[in-house]
Amino acid sequence: MSFGQLPYDLAHLLGGAVLLLSFVLLYQRRIAAVINAFATQGALLALAAAWQGYVQGAAGLYVTAAIAFGAKAVLIPFALHRLVRRFNLQRGVDPALGIGVSMIAGVALAGFAMLVVLPATAGQRALAREDLALALSVVLLGGLMMITRRNLISQVIGLLSLENGLILAAVGVAGMPLVMELSTAALVLMLAVIAGVFALQMGESFQSLDTESLDTHRGEGE
Amino acid sequence: MSIFTALVTQLLHLALILALAPVLTGCVRWLKARLMGRRGPHPLQPWRDLLKLLKKRPVLAENASAISRAAPYVAVGAALLAAALVPSFARGMLLAPFADLLLIAGLLALRRFAMALAGMDVGTSFGGLGATREMAFAALAEPAFVLAALIFAILAGTTNLDVIIGIFQEGALGLRVSLGFAAVALLAVAVAENARIPVDNPATHLELTMVHEAMILEASGRHLALWDFQASLRLTLWLALLAAVFLPFGMAAPGAGPIAWITGLLVFIAKMAALAFTLAVFESAIAKMRVFRVPEFLGAALLLGLLGAVFLFVSTGLS
Amino acid sequence: MLIALALALVVLAILSLAAPLLAWAALGVRVVYAGAALVSLVFAAGGFVGLVSAPEALALPFGPPWGAMRLALDPLSAWFLLILGLCGVAASAFAFGHVKGPEAPRRLVPYPLFLAGMALTLLAADGFTLVLGFELMSFASWVLVAHEHEQAENRRAARLYLGFAALGGAALILCFGWLAAGTSAGAGFAALRAAPPDGLRALAILLLVVIGAGSKAGLVPLHVWLPLAHPAAPSHVSALMSAAMTKVALYVLARVVFDLAGPAQPLFWGAVLMALGVASAIMGALRAALEEDTKTLLACSTIENIGLITLGLGLALAFRAADLGALSAVAAGAALLHALNHAMFKTLLFLGAGEVLHGAASRRMDRLGGLIHAMPWTAGLVLVGAAAAAALPPLSGFASEWLLLQALIAAWRVGDLAFQIGAAAATALAALAVALAAAAMLRFYGLVFLGRPRSPRAAGATELSGAARAALIFPATLTVIFGLTPGYLLELAAPALRLLTGAGAGLSALGGVTVTVSEGGAGYAPMIIFAVLLLMGGAAVWFARRQAPGILHGPAWDCGFIAPPHHLPFGDPTTQVSAAGMAQPLRRMLGKTLLAAREQVEMPPPGSIAPAHLQAGFHDPVLVLIAGPLPRARDRLAALAERLRDFSLRQCLGLGFAVLLGLMALLIWLERR
């Protein structure tokens, strides 16, 4: 497959859109908008998985798509919105790093991902190489978001979006066993649940989801 | 013969743009009003306003200089020339060899400069504020536009708009991530350049947030008509540019006959209507952002353009 | 022609020698400036002749012990000589127009020497002559910068300038010495060309010439003296320094890197120049958008334009390294064209700023305003320059920056991924610099000429006349003409481009009515565009004026604010936007990260009627470095060296012995290689 063929083009474009949403996540300040952007990213990811399922003729990918849509586009955003309402977090989140700086860092990371992936996958098909670069960029941007945000919910979303990148990489590779994907999806749900419990606990103890407020309580307990 | 056809196409295009520009502004206003549950002014209202204002005597401030009197004509001339370069219903117009994207950027800069000079001429605080902000936003919008031009130029081999559209029309390029990023970047630039929500509010005179309106506060009579007209021209130009590059289908080929022109015209009007509707929905759905978030917005567009270029380098290097 | 040019140099030397006597009478001063103008005209003519005819060479009957001094006129030096001549004519005419009586010799004597130094640098055909001319130029301009040495800030500027000039001179001497080390036939350019440097030596030469020429041209990070020194000189000298002297420095850079260092350089040479160019362009443009003094603003804009020219040169070098001759010619053409265009509009702008300083007695934009009413000629002519500097079509700045951006857009053809990404970023940053320059020029023009006078002195400004007006009309006319004829200028520059890029093909496509980058590529036809623009604007005038008659005048509407009290007939001038206020968006957007800009509001306590204060400012990071850590390091080093004096005899002997051993070890190492 190469440029100009619909299967490749659309898969590529969907991957690009997922990456674009990662940038939107970095760019947003308001927590509700961040959650919405994350939900959109989940939906796009589901679309990408479904399209790959159709192109590769792999029924398992439809399951992945359904799980991704159900969990990431509907369930988790819904739960997060409830959390936000419960702790009255509609105000803006203040990023630890400025928006402009984190955007520049994001573009630099995407370029970095490109430079890493391309030599490492020499000899593979162009499709796999570029999609892998896209997916790795999403992963790195998720990591960046976890570093540059102080709010717990933003950090959780960073982690989940990082995981979106992993799924994106997985669906692009033909012949990935379904078990792997199911287990990753389960892992994510577990993570989300743990994070939710943690957030509830933290919110009740500190009346805030700012993770920096934890720093002063290091080494306490027992 | 071919020069004659090109001339006719050019003149028809110019007439179309001249007639359509205020109607387009009116349509967007009307659609917005309908979406917000108001009745809204008639889509032809901007035309009526223009004709009324043209008959009125301009009132200039006592300390206004020749700049205030000359700037509207410069701005309208530049906007008109830029609009004449962007194809609407057919390619191969007389000025097509000069329809360079960087030149269009330059003409828009000329328009902006004239407007900012007019804003500063009388020495009011609002005019100066608007001029300052306009130039500062343009500082980020222009590189984003140039990066979009860079992406097109790598795909098409030139920055000539007519050639770019021709190559995009063939469809051999397919859908590309870089083009998607370029589209997003160009949309953001278009929103900023046209002073639309969320960068600026075209319908308000609220002093603290406005950019575009602040510069023409002192204009009246035919000067105001000209400023309004160039704003409409600019909106038409940008929508036509987006339509031509990203939705190039239906446009008549160079040297095609009147039947292809009519098809092209109908498709063009449909495209513009769709874009106007999208714009109205977009503007109704979101809120205006704070002035100091605009640089982030445009900076993001700039970085997306850069990212698009990077992806393009990678894919051209691979294939 | 070369003999005539050599004689012109002699005339300048005589003028300089006679200047102490001539300075006592207004007539004598006029003679000096008129002579300088005539000689500049000869330079311009010489440049033109040098471009259309074959290269010439001339060995002088005197010189250093190792050989005669040599002069030559080849297309590259001719192009820069043309620039120097045109600037010299305008600057000298301006000075001529402003002669009021006797002048201090320290202002008059160095002026012909300054011109002669620049011309000698351009005409030199061996390393010794070039360095001699370069140092003459530095020294003469230093005296002119220091001419008002009563003021502490001028003394500081001159001191800083001298430091950088010394650094640059030392680097250039080392550079040419090292270049000549590869030959046995002295430092003549032909001999240097025959033995191009390689390996580590080539790298050292690149570094040295970048320091030597870059510190004079104002490339970041060697630019800090420029915004201080250029404004301190008299206005006509500021114009020459900004428009011509920086170009002479770039000529030295181009001569060494493109010509003397051999026909093939690796790709990264181009990348180094591009990076320096982009950094200068951004830094200069941003500072220009924040400065509050007219001449400082213009000096910062010079840094920006020098950056763009260097970017073009670096790109040409990269294209040449990648064997893309035609594109290399495009990039080099953009650089040369922009050098010429910038020289013209910057001369115009500096002379205009000088006229404002003369007519309204201030350089601070917060004390100017509304001068378009009192000085309509100056305002109109400066508008041409400001619009060209803001890269507006169809003026000259747009033509060369269009060509530069086209070359940058084609940079992806080099093929190296890292270079492509860098070039795309450079494209974006160059466009950012151009847009910032437009903002800076609007701010300059709007604050100085538009609005209401901000001080009584500005309200009573006086207009220029006579030779000074002609001195402004001349570059303004050329700015318009050059904007309309870039194709023909490129045809004129073709021999110089061939020399720079070694490309014969691809040049023919550049020239003519339409400037085209490549066959079938994008084209720019300024004359046609201008004609259509006139047609469109004319149609708008005709259509709009057809219906409504006349214009009424009334008080400014200003969103319904109340009319000013009687004692302020034009309203309170401070209600206009101020220089600091106009810089605010850009200061917040970019200044905080790049220039450590700060804003501080001091609010009075509640209930107090004292005014609140806003303090805003920025620091150039390099200047901070020079003012702080560098001197401290020097002091530490000096203290360390001081300790040498306390050495005992044995220690002194031991030191000498150790040096001897070290030298021997070096010798062994060198022989082993």
- The per-residue DSSP string of C14-67 comes to HHHHHHHHHTTSHHHHHHHHHHHHHHHHHHHHHHHHHHHS--EEEE-S---TTS
Task: Single out the residue of C515, C333, C363 nearest to residue C444, CA to CA.
Answer: C363
**Cβ-based contacts of C418 with chain A (< 8 Å):** 115
Q: Which two tokens stand for residue B100?
A: 């360079």
Which 8-state DSSP code applies to residue B255? T
Question: Is C649 in CB contact (< 8 Å) with chain A?
Answer: no
Domain membership of residue C39 (yes or no) is: no
Least Cα separation, residue B148 to chain A (angstroms): 16
Element (H, E) at C476: helix C466-484
Q: Which of residues 412-471 of C touch A (CB under 8 A)?
A: 417-418, 421
Cβ separation of A16 and B173 shorter than 8 Å?
A: no
Report the percentage of chain A scoring pLDDT > 70: 77
Q: Does C405 contact chain B (CB < 8 Å)?
A: yes
Question: At which of C531, C557, C579 does a domain end?
Answer: C531
Question: Looking at the complex, does the CB of residue B70 fall below 8 Å from at least one CB of chain C?
Answer: no
Q: How confident is the model at residue A92 (pLDDT cuts 50, 70, 90)?
A: low
| Residue B207 scores a pLDDT above 60 | no
Residue A217 is predicted with a pLDDT of: 67
Joined tokens for residue C573:
């001038």
Quick check: A107 contacting C, CB < 8 Å?
no
Query: Does residue C472 form part of some domain?
Result: yes
Side-chain-side CA neighbours of B105 within 13 Å: the count stands at 35
The torsion defined by the Cα of C565, C566, C569 and C575, in degrees rounded to 10, comes to: -20
Tell me how far apart the terminal alpha carbons of chain C are, to the nearest angstrom.
49
Mean pLDDT of chain C: 89
- Contacting chains of B (3 CB pairs or more, <8 Å) are A, C
Query: What confidence score (pLDDT) does residue A222 get?
Result: 46
Helices (H), C322-416: 325-360, 371-374, 376-389, 396-409
d(Cα C270, Cα C261) in Å, to the nearest integer? 13
* Domain containing residue C337: 263-531
C387 has a pLDDT exceeding 50: yes
Q: How far is CA C126 from the centre of its chain?
A: 25
Which residues does C153 contact at the CB level (< 8 Å), separation at least 6? C228, C232
A&C contacts, CB < 8 Å: 6
Structure tokens at A181: 């994907």
Residue C253 lies in a domain: no
Condensed to tens digits (0 to 9), the pLDDT of residues C586-638 reads 988 888 888 888 888 888 888 888 888 888 888 888 888 887 788 889 889 99
Q: Which candidate, B159, B179, B149, B185, places its Cα nearest to that of B302?
A: B185
* Average pLDDT rounded to a whole number, residues C528-556: 88
Model confidence at A1, in pLDDT bands (50, 70, 90)?
very low
pLDDT in tens, C467-515: 889 999 999 999 999 999 999 999 899 899 988 887 665 555 567 788 8
Distance from CA of C287 to the nearest CA of A (A): 20
Q: Report which of A181, A161, A179, A185 is spatially closest to residue A170, judged by C-alpha positions.
A: A181
* Residue C445 within any structural domain of the chain: yes
Chain C contact partners (≥3 CB pairs within 8 A):
A, B
- B195: confidence class by pLDDT, cuts 50, 70, 90: confident
Average pLDDT of the residues in C633-647 = 85
Q: CA dist B24 to A130, B30, B274, C543, Å? A: 41, 10, 11, 21
DSSP symbol at A75: I
pLDDT-wise least confident of A38-42, B180-184, C102-106, C628-632 = C628-632
Å between B196 CA and nearest CA of chain A:
20
The answer to whether position C272 is within a domain reads yes
Asked if the structure places residue C630 within a domain, the reply is: no
Asked whether the predicted pLDDT for residue C7 surpasses 80, the reply is: yes
| Predicted local confidence at residue A147, as pLDDT | 80
Write down which residue in C505, C531, C557 finishes a domain.
Answer: C531
Integer angstrom CA distances of residue C393 from B186, B264, C516, C557, C607: 22, 31, 16, 32, 54
* pLDDT of B80 higher than 50: yes
Under an 8 A CB cutoff, do A107 and B319 touch? no
CA distance C571 to C564: 5
Local confidence band at B237 (pLDDT 50, 70, 90 cut-offs): very high
Cβ B81–C533 below 8 Å, yes or no?
Answer: yes
Tokens of A78: 């819904």
Inter-chain touch A126–B318, beta carbons under 8 Å: yes
Q: Is the pLDDT of residue B59 over 80?
A: yes
Residue C585, classed as helix, strand or coil, is helix
Nearest to C570 among B63, B157, B309 (CB): B63
In a domain, C267, yes or no: yes
Amino acid at C304: E
- The pair of structure tokens assigned to C342 is 């910038």
> A119: which chain B residues are within 8 Å (Cβ-Cβ)?
none
Would the CB atoms of C417 and A115 count as touching at under 8 Å? yes
pLDDT for position A122? 67
Q: Which chains touch A (3 or more CB pairs under 8 A)?
A: B, C
How far does C539 lie from chain B, in Å, by closest CA? 8
Q: What is the mean pLDDT of chain A?
A: 78
The answer to whether position C389 is within a domain reads: yes
Cα angle value C351/C357/C361 (rounded, 5°): 165
Question: pLDDT (tens digit, 9 = 90+) per residue, B118-168?
Answer: 999 988 888 898 999 999 999 999 999 999 999 999 988 899 999 999 988
Tokens of C624: 């901070």
**Listed residue (B178, B145, B166) closest to B245, CA to CA:** B166
Q: Are residues C504 and C646 in the same domain?
A: no
Contact B174 A4 (CB under 8 A): yes
State how many domains chain B has.
Answer: 1
Q: Which residues of B touch C555 (CB under 8 A)?
A: 61-62
Instruction: Work out whether the CA dihedral C432, C433, C438, C440 comes out positive or negative.
Output: positive
Cβ contacts of B5 within 8 Å, gap of 6 or more: B92, B255
Cα–Cα dist B160/C521, whole Å: 7
Q: Over 50: is that where the pLDDT of C464 sits?
A: yes
Of C10-19, C252-261, C339-348, C663-672, the one with minimum mean pLDDT is: C663-672
| Chain A CB contacts of B184 below 8 Å | 20
Residues C527 and C645 in one domain: no
**Structural domain containing residue B129:** 2-318
- Examine the fold and report which residue of C482, C502, C531 is the final residue of a domain before the chain moves on: C531
Q: What is the mean pLDDT of residues A109-135?
A: 75
CB contact under 8 A, A126 and B172: no
**Which pLDDT does position C281 carry in this prediction?**
96
Nearest chain B residue (CA) to C591: B136
As a whole-number percent, the residues of chain C with pLDDT over 70 amount to 97
CB of B217 within 8 Å of any CB in chain C? yes
**Measuring CA to CA, how many Å separate C564 from each of C455, C555, C567?**
16, 10, 8
Decide if C18 touches B, using CB distance below 8 A.
Answer: no
Q: Tally the domains of chain C.
A: 2
Beta-sheet pairing, C552-554 with B59-61:
parallel
In chain C, what percentage of residues exceed pLDDT 90? 58
Residues of C in contact with A111 (CB under 8 A): 421
User: Across A167-217, where does the E strand assignment appear?
Assistant: none
